[in-house]
Amino acid sequence: MNSRATSPRFRPVHANVMTRGLVRALMLFAIMVAQSGCASHYDRIWSVREAYFAGHLADAEAQVEKQLQKHKRESDAFLLDKAMLELAGGRPKNAERILRGVRDRFDHLEEKDVGEFTASMLTDDTRRAYAGEDYEKVLIRAMLSLSNLMSDGGDAGAYALQVVDKQQQIINAVVEKQKKETEQPPAELAYKQVALGPYIRAMLAEESPLTLEDAARARVQVANWEPGFRDAQADVQRAKFEKPVGQGHGVLYVFALVGRGPIKQEKEEMPTQAALLIADRIVNAFSNRSIPPTLAPVKVPQVINFPSIADAVAVRVDGELKGQTATIVDVGTMAARQQEARYPEVIARAVARRVIKKGAIYVVQEVADVDKGSPLSLLATVAGVAWEATENADTRCWGLLPDTIQVLRLELPVGDHEIALRPASRSGEFASSARTKVTIHDGRNSYLMGTLPASDFVGTLLTSGGPGE
């Protein structure tokens, strides 16, 4: 028997070659990820937001187009922003087309891809196709309905119904998951229904005498789902006991997209007990290793909100103040509550990923029988540290959402009217007005929408029946 064949100093050549190859591959991978991961979606969307808030739509559009070409894995997030730019630019049909495409892809991506999940466990969540946050899936349908209202309006009611249906699907899934994990119903549900869907269905139903009962039921839904909505009870009273509109009059609905909406920023978090329990289940799906007793902070995305400069929009008709818009959807609160409900799962994925990566390094060393403390062992450890350090939190998101969606209903005489919109706060109106003209038809609805991300309106005031292109 040849003692040289079994001596630690004379291992088979192929084992050392394999080990060095694996370690080099790990280090090369870490270097490549580090070079490509210096900037995140948060960094890329920030300059787009700044241009948009300042009203420089052409600059924002050019930046979005550039990012669409360079960062394919972020394309749907940037397409959502492109839709908002199309809407602000007075092209609601283009916005509707883009939103429809992203909506359909998000629906398709709800089917889990095992291959993508495995790849994300070995890299980070940015390697997965972006399937949208729950609040984004609902708000896509809300913005589809508003975009359609500003063009032909034929599908606005169907989109509004989708808002309700999609949110209910999400609520059902969340409740079912929590029942399985806790064996009891959740004490508080962060995923409440969005009142904009029934609000739009009610205003459409009020145009016909044959659907007034439907309108009344929808108004009651709005009041139940969003009890803080200022006009909810007045709308219910009118729908139940009064005529929708007087003779020789029509209705103008003014929608306002107010404030800077939420985005996601990278943050380091210590794992919670709830997150460790979820992470343990994820790790067990990959191996029989357990979660270590102590773990360092992990990188996760966190929703951040921004205070709005304007509280509402003051509406003047032919020079006379008629009222201010009221919030029907608080986008920032909706996003924050839903992330809070999912936060343990988000942290758990990051924890599980770190454990799996550490395990992979140990397996390489064990299989290749690398001597502890040897240069090759040190090299593998360094590669593993770099592998972990190059992780990025997935900050992809719909970056140009408003902070709130607001509305004001006005009954006006038939004919042409000049409408002026001006930012308002608790201390009064400020900044300059945005103006347009609308035509009111007998017994019919007309629609107007403006975008107010900061102290000035950006882009075009949209009116129903406009060119839409």
Q: What is the pLDDT of residues 185-198, one digit of tens each?
A: 454 557 889 999 99
β strands within 392-456, DSSP E? 404-413, 415-425, 428-429, 434-440, 445-452
What pLDDT is attached to residue 191? 82
Q: What is the pLDDT of residues 373-389, one digit of tens each?
A: 555 555 555 555 555 55
Cα–Cα distance measured from residue 268 to residue 322, given in angstroms and rounded to the nearest whole number: 48
For the record, the structure tokens of 14 come out as: 């192929």
Confidence (pTM):
0.83
What pLDDT is attached to residue 286? 60
Residue 452: pLDDT over 50: yes
Helix (H, G, I), strand (E, B) or coil at 250: strand
Q: Average the pLDDT over 155-179 and give the result.
A: 90
Q: What is the pLDDT of residues 70-108, one digit of tens each?
A: 999 999 999 999 999 999 999 999 999 999 999 999 999
Domains of the chain: 11-463 (1.25.40.10)
Cα torsion angle, 174, 175, 177, 178, sign: positive
Residue 13: pLDDT over 90: no
Q: Are 386 and 34 in contact (CB under 8 A)?
A: yes
Give phi and psi for 15, each to the nearest 5: -70, -45
Q: What is the pLDDT of residues 236-292, one digit of tens each?
A: 999 999 988 989 999 999 999 999 999 999 998 877 766 666 666 666 666 655 556
User: Of residues 35 and 246, which shows the higher confidence score?
Assistant: 246
What pLDDT is attached to residue 14? 47
